[in-house]
Amino acid sequence: MLGKLLKGRAPAAPLQPSPGPATVAIDPARPAVLNVGGSSKKVGIPDHYAGWTHLVLDIDPRRGAEIVCDARALTTLAPGVFDAVYCSHNLEHYFRHDVPKVLAGFVHVLKDAGFAEIRVPDMPAVFRKLLDDGMDLEDVLYTSPAGPIRVLDVIYGWGPEIEKSGNDFFAHKTGFSQNSLCEVLLAAGFAEAWNAPPYGEYELRAFAFKRPPTPAQRKLLRLPLDPPGAGV
């Protein structure tokens, strides 16, 4: 159910941030989305970004990211460049005290009318399943295209990926509930945060806007078209 609240990965060797998105060709005639932690364009992004300029930011340069940067250092990049930030299953890879730095970076690189789309594991749903079904931490919670995902993998990060890569930035260092995700987004400076239907199992999804969404954004993202308080 869609709901709204109103405001009242470290590498094995150090990597240097790129000079920033201002050095990357962006067509001013098209909206642009920054895919934070997206690794590669081989991993698809939602259809509502079709036709947008799509740039990937990642700390690991080996998979073809246009911008190589630690997401905790986004404020070193050019401000107000992107119409949207898309961050899928990346925010949980930072310690809780670093999450505000990452989100402040989202606010920094977004245009005034920009928004962020966030996807993270739904930890309360995982814990409910664990307790209600009497599961063990080693039990398979669900099967993804990449393989079986255990309860432990959702809590601490996908074990096979961490082992194969040798990089602990694939580990999960924090977690979120629906309320806590919106709360950190609002605390970071976004004016509005909306809970949205998830794309996958045991997942939370949220939109955060620097200022109230326009009718065009509401339609694009399938948010309620009536503004808060309409008809009251």
3 state SS of 61: helix
What is the arrangement of strands in the sheet containing 110-121, beginning at the earlier edge strand?
Answer: 3-6, 192-196, 203-209, 110-121, 82-88, 32-36, 53-58, 67-68
- C-alpha pair distances (Å), 42 with each of 38, 64, 70, 214: 9, 10, 20, 31
Question: Token pair for residue 15?
Answer: 């990597």
DSSP state of 22: G
Encode pLDDT of 167-180 as tens digits. Answer: 777 889 999 999 99
The pLDDT assigned to 6 comes to 55
Encode pLDDT of 18-51 as tens digits. Answer: 444 445 678 888 999 999 998 778 888 999 999 9
First-to-last alpha carbon distance for the chain, in angstroms, is: 21
What is the pLDDT tens value at each position of the chain, 232 positions in all?
Answer: 455 555 543 433 444 444 444 456 788 889 999 999 987 788 889 999 999 999 999 988 777 889 999 999 999 999 999 999 999 999 999 999 999 999 999 999 999 999 999 999 999 999 999 999 999 999 999 988 888 999 989 998 877 777 677 677 788 999 999 999 999 999 999 999 999 999 988 999 999 999 999 999 999 999 975 544 443 3
Question: Token pair for residue 142?
Answer: 């669900």
Please state whether beta strands 53-58 and 203-209 pair in parallel, antiparallel, or not at all (unpaired).
unpaired
The pLDDT assigned to 24 comes to 66
The pLDDT assigned to 13 comes to 41
Q: Spelled out in words, what is the top-level CATH class assigned to the domain 3-124+175-221? A: alpha beta
